[in-house]
Structure 1
Amino acid sequence: MAQSQNQRRSELAAFLRSRRARITPADVGMPPGLRRRTPGLRREEVAQLAGVGVTWYTWLEQGRPINASVQVLDAVARVLQFDTTEREHLYRLAGIPFVREPVSDVEVVGEEVLGILGTLDPLPAAVFNARYDVQAANDTYRTLWPMTSLVERPQRNVLYKMFTVPECCSTMVNSPEELPWMVAQLRRSYGRHVGEPAWEAFIARLIAESPAFAQLWASGDVAAPGRRVKIFRHAEVGLINFTSMSLSIDGMPEQRIVVYTPVGEEDRVQVERLRAIENPLIGCARHGRRLSDVLAARTAQDPARPTVTA
């Protein structure tokens, strides 16, 4: 038994080293730096991005007999950009049962909540967790913001997208007013998760990749969810004004339904115009791509992947 555990730890150490070597600083939004002797990330960089101690991560790569929690392994897997197969292999080597991530909205929020989202259509509506991950959405929301259903589930975070996309491709016109409020709301939620690796890694990643977020985070402001006015811009139909309302969900304390109501009749017409476009442009007029091109590129990268992940 002891020999088997030692072999498994050695294999885990070698696996992590090989995966770390393939990730460049640019892959995680870090500057390349000078005189890098390692082909990929350094150990301390992985530890920082994952929100774990450098010594602990070093021991993990050295195959020492230490315990690793699910949360910590998930954070390391995210930094090293593991796919599902690699994540499962990591869990097996660490001696932890692998639990498959939910792949559908119904697995995350349940049939009842999905039914509510569908009933709200044509009002755009989505379920967010406390970190602004999009957990589920209805058809109109996906029409307005299609990338929420086209990227893998761990990447469906609207706050991260808003702080990292080029300004010209940002869909929110009044972001100078809204982003500080959203960060303040994130900090309020963070108070319940201080020290949790997934949260610490998320915050650290945003700070590293967005000076604007880092400045807002350093302010220490907190805020609660509530009614807001958001002005969105689409390259093909123009401006759409929404009033957003955040609604709590019984039995799901850290998740909420956010409903977007067009402010006026013209805004409602704009939504219908956008819904009528069969192959919309995603992004700005300069950098955007047609939805069909995005789907074709995804299929070319992974022919086995479904064309749309619900």
Structure 2
Amino acid sequence: MTMMAQETAAVQTDRGGAEIRRYELAAFLRSRRERISPEQVGLPRGARRRTPGLRREEVAQLSAVGVTWYTWLEQARDIQVSVQVLDALARALMLDASERAHLFQLAGATDPTPATSCPSVTPALRQMLRGLEPIPALIQNSRYDIVAYNRTYAHLLGDLDAIPPEDHNCMLLVYTNKEWQASVVHLEETQRLMAARLRASFAGHLGEPAWKMLLKRLETESPKFRENWERYEVVGSRSKTKEFLNAHVGHLKLEHTDLWLGPEPGARMVTYTPVDEEGRERLERLYDIALGATART
């Protein structure tokens, strides 16, 4: 076989594989759509529904995409799908972690959410997080994604383990999660400061899909975020005292410290150390509660 013939065969193979993935993606979307009842997503069933599960136009509405575009996707047409749209579809179709990963794989895309494993979180860093207990600690990137955390932190602001991995983002949680918000003393001040810190980091990530996806979701789901984001305030990182109202042990006054994991601002270990003996005792109680919860799972 000549070199040209080999190249032609390779191109045909690639095209064939892409076509197979499109048909698999179309079938997967249909199957997920048909298993969800209108009531599960807050839509009326109506008297003349023939389609099992959701209609195509309902999925399009929930995902904020065009009906025609979504129909083409289920027809396996050769169209480009952004990670933002894939994320919206995953949430609209209530996909679990395995299904979400399958969706992105079929689309030939990389999932940019915190659910994706982070290679910078080494076994040594995970051991450090455990070794700091009962002090709450997490590893976070410049986008506020929570990429690793210890057992005390998991119960500092509600139950982090019960939240889907794709929602493990402090910015998203402080603006949209009621349990998280109820745990933060001085919530409005915290929200404004976090938005200003996010804008400071955003300058180094303009145009990146993961950042665009996070900002679009925040602007869609939180009027308060839109208000703070439009202030164009910028604040750098600094240590500070934070106050939390924990559902298990009550008021906690903790010193927030960022420990940078590289020469450039980005990934960091965040620790919350008690400022007094009462706080230390309450963190130890919270740690005991966290160990009990872990043993039950």
- SS of 2:183's equivalent? coil
Alignment partner of 1:258 out of 262, 270, 283: 270
| Cα separation, partners in 2 of 1:9 and 1:123, compared to 1, 3 Å | closer
Provide the C-alpha distance between the structure 2 equivalents of 1:26 and 1:214, rounded to a whole number of angstroms. Answer: 28
Alignment partner of 2:95 out of 47, 60, 82: 82
- SS of 2:267's equivalent? strand
Aligned partner of 2:253 in structure 1 is 241
- SS of 1:257's equivalent? strand
**Deviation of residue 234 (structure 1)?**
1.9
Matched, 1:43 2:60: yes
Q: TM-score, normalised by structure 1?
A: 0.69
In structure 1, list runs of 5 or more residues that go unmatched: 281-290, 297-306
Paired letter, 1:43? A
Aligned partner of 1:12 in structure 2 is 25
**Deviation of residue 25 (structure 1)?**
10
Paired letter, 2:230? A
Alignment partner of 1:158 out of 170, 175, 185: 170
- SS of 1:214's equivalent? helix
| Cα separation, partners in 2 of 1:251 and 1:136, compared to 1, 3 Å | farther
Kindly indicate whether the alpha-carbon contact (under 8 Å) linking 1:126 and 1:138 is maintained by their aligned counterparts in 2.
Answer: yes
Counterparts of residues 77-156 of structure 1 (less than 5 Å): 77-91=90-104, 93-94=106-107, 96=108, 109-145=121-157, 147-156=159-168
Provide the C-alpha distance between the structure 2 equivalents of 1:208 and 1:273, rounded to a whole number of angstroms. Answer: 38
Matched, 1:64 2:77: yes
Aligned partner of 1:175 in structure 2 is 187
Q: TM-score, normalised by structure 2?
A: 0.71
Select the structure of larger CA radius of gyration: 2
| Cα separation, partners in 2 of 1:44 and 1:174, compared to 1, 3 Å | same
> How many residues are aligned here?
275
**Deviation of residue 115 (structure 1)?**
3.0
Alignment partner of 1:213 out of 221, 225, 238: 225
Aligned partner of 1:288 in structure 2 is none
| Cα separation, partners in 2 of 1:241 and 1:85, compared to 1, 3 Å | closer
In structure 2, list runs of 5 or more residues that go unmatched: 1-11
